[in-house]
Amino acid sequence: METKKDEFKKYLDRTGVIDALTKALVSLYEQPEKPEEAIEYIQKYMGGSNIENIQKEKTELLKRNEALEKEVKQLREKLKKYESKN
């Protein structure tokens, strides 16, 4: 009977977690100058660029949303003027 620990190890191996962590650690090891923040390095290695892209997209979407809200307000004012003429 496998222990929970062995089952968990197999799960990590099967899902690619061990491979991904190994690659991140090897990359860190191969850095000629070790970064001050090893955790931050590993996070960026494993998907930090995705986080940066998401943050950039969020900023762009917030700006777009603001512009659309302004446009809606202007269109409502135009509609109100049009309706009051009729």
The closest of 60, 30, 55, 56 to 45, measured between CA atoms, is 30
C-alpha to C-alpha distance for 62 and 54, rounded to whole angstroms: 12
51: tokens are 């986080």
- How does residue 1 score in pLDDT terms, banded at 50, 70 and 90? low
pLDDT in tens, 29-57: 999 999 999 998 998 888 876 777 888 99
Predicted pLDDT at 61: 98
CB 28 within 8 A of CB 34: yes
